Amino acid sequence: MILVTGATGNLGRELMARLPADGVRALDRGAGADLSRPETLAEPLQAVDTVFLIWPFLTADGATATLDVIARHAQRVVYLSSTAVRFGRDTDPITRLHSDLEQAVQQSGLEWTILRADTFASNALGWAGQLRAGDVVRGPDSAATAVIDPADIAAVAERLLRQPQPGTTHTVTGPEVLSRADQVAILGTALGRRLTFAPTPLDEARAQLLADGRPQALVDALIDSAANRPPSDLVTTTVSDLTGRPARTFREWADRHVGAFSPGSEWTPYTGPSCVNGSSSSSAARRRVGIRW
């Protein structure tokens, strides 16, 4: 039995669809299970062998206690991390979070596997509102990365969950390094429109995020990430190595999601600028983030 956290996100839905219904269980906050409250995890962990872990907070506070409970029931954990960890934990708060979680997972006593993913293609859904209204995407710029389709991350995760490789770290990327301007242009090709990306100065982006009601801690993390994360030319073959087929391009992802960006679409995605969307938890120090994967 596999317990999947983050099962309703872009990645989680893809992963749940790949696993047999009688061999997978979603962590259900609606039923009272919550990673921030380890005492609520015993029931969903019953008969679970492996946990696919997405940590939905801006800090690693409480992770050790949660992993302790997981270790009392399960044998192994696959943790979804970030390729940015290789730049060092002090690059920005989001990278620091993943670095700290990797360390906690490795020290948990569980058989562990770490899956580091590059920028999610589905982050572009945050531009859908702007593109349904016009042909310009405005927002803070960030370093180019090898954007990856969440479906490919899910395919690799499935392989690691079904055929465990304890003590290993796997880095998954898309097949090409893309800037935000590149992504917007590719979306334009898929939509048959001429689209442009207009970078927003970071101080203006910060003010807008705060005005939109985002928590201060989340806004600081997003802006620090945009300002400080180095450019990346990393492209890996992990997807093809573990699944037997090449990683999908951003254009392939865009072709499957054109409806979300088309005028008149009634589908409303999260409109934040990065892979996290904040809302207040019971503690200001531990912000839950509704991760769009």
Q: How far apart are the first and last CA of the chain?
A: 22
Put simply, whether the predicted model's pTM sits higher than 0.85 gets the answer: yes
Can you tell me the distance from the alpha carbon of 255 to that of 251, in angstroms, rounded to the nearest whole number? 6
pLDDT at position 29 is 81
pLDDT at position 157 is 98
Neighbours of 141 (CB within 10 A): 17
DSSP secondary structure, the chain, as one string: -EEESSTTSHHHHHHHHHS-GGGEEE--GGGT--TT-GGG-TTTTTT--EEEE---BSS-TTHHHHHHHHHHH-SEEEEEEEGGGGG-TTS-HHHHHHHHHHHHHHTSSSEEEEEEE--BGGGGGGGHHHHHH-SEEEE-----EE-B-HHHHHHHHHHHHHS--TTEEEEE--SSEE-HHHHHHHHHHHHTS--EEEEPPHHHHHHHHHHTT--HHHHHHHHHHHHHPPP------HHHHHHSSPPPPHHHHHHHTHHHHSTT--------SSS--EEEEEETTEEEE----
pLDDT at position 208 is 85
Can you tell me the distance from the alpha carbon of 62 to that of 19, in angstroms, rounded to the nearest whole number? 29
CB neighbour list of residue 189: distance below 8 Å, 6 or more residues apart: 251, 254
pLDDT at position 213 is 87
Identify whether the C-beta of residue 113 lies closer than 8 Å to the C-beta of residue 164: yes
Q: pLDDT 10s per residue in the chain (293 long)?
A: 999 999 999 999 999 999 999 999 999 887 789 999 999 999 999 999 999 999 999 999 999 999 999 999 999 999 999 999 999 988 899 999 999 999 999 999 999 999 999 999 999 999 999 999 999 999 999 999 999 999 999 999 999 999 999 999 999 999 999 999 999 999 999 999 999 999 999 999 999 889 888 899 989 998 999 999 898 999 999 999 999 999 999 999 999 999 999 877 654 443 333 333 222 223 333 344 433 33
pLDDT tens-digit series, residues 254-279: 999 999 998 776 544 433 333 332 22
Q: What would the two tokens of residue 206 be?
A: 């910060």
pLDDT at position 265 is 63
Identify whether the C-beta of residue 148 lies closer than 8 Å to the C-beta of residue 118: yes
